Amino acid sequence: MTKTAARARANARKLGNVPTQLAALETMNVGALAEKYRELYGEPARTRNKDYLKKRLAWRIQELAGGGLPPGAVALINQFGDQMPERWRMRMTRPATTENEAPALLHPVEPRDPRLPPPGAVLRRVFEGAAHEVTVCDEGFEYAGQRYKSLSAIAQHITGTRWNGFLFFGLKKRGAEDAA
C-alpha cells in the first residue's frame, strides 16, 4: 500500500463518511462553517461568505479523504518555484503525515509585500497642510496611536475618501504598472 493510500484511509476514518460530511455543510450556519474551516485548515477563515466557505470546506474534506497530492506532484510544484503564488507553495508542501496521524495543519504566514519598507520605518505625508506620520509594524501600521491593517485604511481616515495607500504615501507612482 502506498503512503498516499494509507494517508487517505487514515483521514477517511478520522473524517467519517465523506458524503455525510458534505451534506452536513448544507445545514450549517456561517459560525459553524467558520469553526469547521478553522478545524480543517488550522487557521481562521478570512471571510464570512457562506457559499465560499461551503465550497472550500467541501474541497478540503475531499482532499483529506483522498490523501492529498502525491509526492511527485509536490516535487513538480516545487520545481516551478517562484512562478507559483507563495500561498499555493506553502499549502502544497505540508509535512507528510503517518498513517495514524491527522494531517499536519500549518499556520501560513502571509508573505510581506516587497513594496513596504522594513518594520520601524516611518512614512511621512503632508496633506492639506498637516503632516501625517505612519509607523510600519510587523503586522500592520500605526497612525495617531491606533493600529491599522492597511495603508489604504489610513489614507481614507486622513482624507475622508478612498485612496490606494501605496499611492497616497508615495510608495508607488501612478502608472507604474503600465510602464512595467
CA distance 22 to 37: 13
Torsion of CA 160, 164, 168, 173, to 10 degrees: -150
Mean pLDDT of the chain: 79
7 residue type, one letter: R
C-alpha cell at 10: 487514515
Phi, psi of 163, rounded to the nearest 5 degrees = -140, 150
Where is pLDDT greater, at 85 or 172? 172
- Whole-model pTM: value is 0.40
User: pLDDT tens-digit profile of 134-159?
Assistant: 999 888 899 999 999 999 999 999 99
Domain boundaries, the chain: 3-92, 122-179
Sequence-distant contacts of 48-52: CB under 8 A, at least 24 apart: none
* HEC sequence for the chain: CCHHHHHHHHHHHHHCCHHHHHHHHHHCCHHHHHHHHHHHHCCCCCCCCHHHHHHHHHHHHHHHHHCCCCHHHHHHHHHHHHHCCHHHHHHHCCCCCCCCCCCCCCCCCCCCCCCCCCCCCEEEEEECCEEEEEEECCCCEEECCEEECCHHHHHHHHHCCCCCHHHHCCCCCCCHHHHC
User: pLDDT tens-digit profile of 76-133?
Assistant: 777 776 666 666 656 555 554 444 444 444 444 556 778 888 888 999 999 999 999 9
Where is pLDDT greater, at 145 or 65? 145
